Amino acid sequence: MLELQYLIFTVIILALVFDFINGFHDTANAIATSVNTRALYPTHAIILAATFNFIGAMVSTGVAKTIGGDIVRDISIVEEKIIIAALIGAIIWNLATWYFGIPSSSSHALIGGLIGAVLISDGIDGLNWYGIGKIFVALIASPAIAFITGIIIMNIIFRAFEKFSPHFINGKFRKMQIFSAAAIAFSNGSNDAQKSMGIITLALFSGGFISEFEVPMYVKILCATAMAIGTATGGWRIIKTVGGKIFKLEPSSGFAADLNSSAVVFGATLLALPVSTTHVVSGSIMGVGTAKRVNAVHWGVAQDMVKAWMITIPITALMGAIAYGVVEFIF
């Protein structure tokens, strides 16, 4: 019993560390556009993002249940060692991609880590392939949807304001970016913080500390707080990539990208589907850039990002598998 308590405590600590890293890793998603267009000072942008990340994390638990229940065939087979291994793999990948300024997906990293750990512990039959397939479709489709809707929204803005001067347009949209930054921060919290909520709830359920797979209020508060604190520390390496290297944003395009991203991410939250806010925001920026001019998008940077996205799940699955072997040896 003492060993089980120790393992669950380890899961909770690692999940909160993952949430904290997820916060500063994905801060760029909420504030990169508004900072790069000078709509918000960096400090003000971070405070706004942290606040609305926390609020968003408290609104729903559907994504948490999907993460906790749809990846494995039966949640009863998920022991604490599997969860620890998955979190270790995801944390290592997140830190590595943050260090090199690559806007990678925390969602992909966590899902990959879980898949790798379960494969080693229970074999291929331990995985729920229907649930994994559903998650994969959401992860792949969401940036594509964001790209298309980004083009549409930007074209609507072009048509609606074509008679106004650029100075007038930039002034108006710079103010409106405060709203759009808050919206994407709220959506980010509503989807991303739930991933750690699902992991902790899974550990508590498998350890017999809760009788049904429902996220306790204290788990919500812990995860929301960890993400908000992580967000408040900032993620400047990734901000430079997301906010400036894909496409040179103006206030109108920054507003369009943020508003579009928040709608796509929160739509996924309502459907209880985990998506990558990083990928959605990047897809939106590519979309609004394409609406202006196809060659205005730095497609070389975009290609490098897509390559990083493609290798995240295989690499973190390998990391999760190796970490499970190490954890099994230690315990």
Model confidence at 176, in pLDDT bands (50, 70, 90)? very high
Q: Does the pLDDT value for residue 115 go beyond 90?
A: yes
Residue 3 has pLDDT above 80, yes or no: no
- The CB-side HSE value for 38 (13 A sphere, CA atoms) comes to 2
pLDDT at residue 287 in the model: 93
What is this structure's pTM?
0.85
- pLDDT more than 70, % of the chain: 92
Q: Quick one: which of 301, 290, 279 has its CA closest to 109?
A: 279
pLDDT at 100 over 90: no
| pLDDT above 70 for 235 | no
Q: For 115-243, where are the E strands, in sequence order?
A: none
CA distance 152 to 167: 23
pLDDT tens-digit series, residues 293-308 = 888 887 877 777 777 7
pLDDT digits (tens, 9 = 90+) for 192-208: 777 788 888 888 887 78
Q: pLDDT tens digits, residue range 237-258? A: 556 555 556 777 888 988 999 9
Residue (of 192, 152, 226) closest to 29 by Cα position: 192
pLDDT at 35: 78
pLDDT of residue 116: 94
Taking the C-alpha atoms of residue 86 and residue 67, their distance in angstroms, rounded to an integer, is: 12
Residue 14 has pLDDT above 90, yes or no: yes
pLDDT of residue 243: 52
pLDDT of residue 27: 63
Residue whose pair of structure tokens reads 């508590």 in the numeric block: 204
pLDDT score at 244: 58
Q: Cα 202–108–316 angle (5° rounding)?
A: 90
Compute CA distances 263 → 11, 32, 131, whole Å. Answer: 32, 17, 24
The pLDDT assigned to 295 comes to 85
Q: Quick check: 201 and 215 in contact, CB under 8 A?
A: yes
